[in-house]
Amino acid sequence: MTDSRESLADFVASLPKAELHMHIEGSLEPDMMFALAKRNGVELPFASVEQVRAAYRFSGLQDFLDIYYQGADVLRTEEDFRDLAVAYFDRAAADGVRHAEIFFDPQTHTARGVPFSVAVEGLLAGIAHARQRHGMTSSLIMCFLRHLDEDSASRTLAEAEPWLDRIIGVGLDSSEVGHPPGKFTRVFSRAGQMGLMRVAHAGEEGPPDYVREALDLLQVDRIDHGNRAMEDPLLVARLAREAMTLTVCPLSNLKLRIVEDVARHPIPHMLQQGLRATINSDDPAYFGGYINDNYLAVAPLLGRDRLAQVARNSFLGAFLDEAALDEHLRRLDSFLEATP
């Protein structure tokens, strides 16, 4: 590989890209957590921003989720959700993100008495800001919490009905092991009938069979993470044949100990086997970096051409109409031609 780290950093910084796996609650930076706690009179179990950062050492997914749900408690008003989204979109725009499909977890908020409408209207205001300020397009994916039951997910889908023209799809997140995708077959089927796109976290900590269930039972349009699919060659061949997008998150994988060393991240093998892998930040405030930090973490393993392929994959895997997709690919090609 001849590309130096500096030239890869410059390349990644201006490479046009889409972000497809980012939980907006996971973009809550410690300083905003403190500001919102103060604004809303919420007591935090931390004395300082430094103490919060020190708590961000995780032994696995559940350990992270416990802290992440606790942090989300400071989000109370429409303005809070808007401020959170604006901060994310400003960061993402600076990283060359041209289109973002962001997750939110309605049940995390409704369970605390914060209405669905408050979360969604605040986030939609953030989306309007991203378009006006940065010319960036974005959409919302509402995730069901898989540690809760399917009835709760169904009630959440029903609650979302007034906003379904402004929500592109449904997802599935939270504690994976012990909560297989098949638990949500009916609610995903209903979401599909309603015209929503479908994605699910699968194969992050859960086995390859969970990835298979997401495909067969939930009929997903993308797999979030998908790392453990690599253990099963037949599944890898199927994912490649079906051009299934994987939304891979290198720094998340490192911080949640899905990989031991980012220098041995499986993404080069994923690409080599023909998988449509993308690079994303997952929960940037918790895992030590936004999208370009994630590109850079694996850049030495990939080099320019495969980084460009990843950016292309991000547009191909996005829920864009044909005209918008063509435009993004055309701009990406112009950037690549103009970048020696």
208-212: long-range contacts, CB 8 A cutoff, minimum separation 24: 208/232, 208/235, 209/180, 210/176, 210/180, 210/181, 211/235, 211/239
User: From the CA atom positions of the chain, what is the Rg in Å?
Assistant: 19
Of positions 140, 204, 211, 235, contacts ligand HPA by CB under 6 A: 204
Q: What is the DSSP string of 176-243?
A: -TT--GGGGHHHHHHHHHTT-EEEEEESSSS-HHHHHHHHHTS--SEEEE-GGGGG-HHHHHHHHHTT
Tell me the closest approach of the beta carbon of residue 74 to ligand HPA, in angstroms.
Answer: 16
Q: How far is the CB of 252 from Zn ion (least distance, A)?
A: 7
Q: Is 25 a catalytic residue?
A: no
Is 31 annotated in a binding site? The answer is no
Task: Give, in order, the Cα–Cα distances in Å from 139 to each of 48, 213, 291.
Answer: 33, 26, 17
Under rule CB under 6 A, residue 292 binds ligand HPA: no
CB of 170 to ligand HPA, least distance (A): 14
Of 138 and 252, which CB lies nearer to ligand HPA in the complex structure?
A: 252
List phi, psi (to 5°) of 104: -140, 160
282 is in an annotated binding site: yes
Could you tell me the smallest distance in angstroms from the CB atom of residue 266 to ligand HPA?
16
Is 282 a residue that touches ligand HPA (CB under 6 A)?
yes
109 binds ligand HPA (CB under 6 A): no
Is residue 283 annotated as involved in ligand binding?
yes
Q: Kindly write out the interface string for residues 7-46 of this chain, putting x where it contacts ligand HPA by CB under 6 A and - elsewhere.
A: ----------------x--x--------------------
Nearest to Zn ion by Cβ — which residue? 282
**From the candidates 19, 29, 204, 213, which is the catalytic residue?**
204
Do the beta carbons of residue 125 and residue 165 sit within 8 Å? Answer: no
β-pairing, 245-248 with 222-225?
parallel
CB closest to ligand HPA, residue no: 173
Beta bridge partners of 23: 103
Residue 252 interacts with ligand HPA (CB under 6 A): yes or no = yes
Q: How many Å apart are CA 146 and CA 214, to the nearest integer?
A: 13
Report which residue type is found at 283. D
Is residue 110 at the binding interface for ligand HPA, with CB under 6 A as the rule?
no
CA distance 166 to 169: 9
Q: Considering CB distances under 5 to 8 angstroms, the limit depending on partner class, which of ligand HPA, Zn ion, none binds residue 83? A: none
Shortest CB 224 distance to ligand HPA, Å: 7
By the 10 Å C-beta count (0-12 exposed, 13-18 middle, 19+ buried), 1 is classed as exposed
From the list Zn ion, ligand HPA, none, partner contacted by residue 174 (C-beta under 5 to 8 A by kind): ligand HPA
Q: Alpha-carbon distance 308 to 204, whole Å?
A: 24
Q: Give the integer Cα–Cα distance in Å for 249 and 143.
A: 17
Is 201 known to sit in a ligand binding site?
yes
Binding site for ligand HPA (CB under 6 A): 23, 26, 61, 173-174, 201, 204, 252, 282-283
Residues within the annotated binding site for Zn(2+)?
21, 23, 201, 282
Report the catalytic residues. Answer: 204
Residue set of the binding site:
21, 23, 201, 282-283
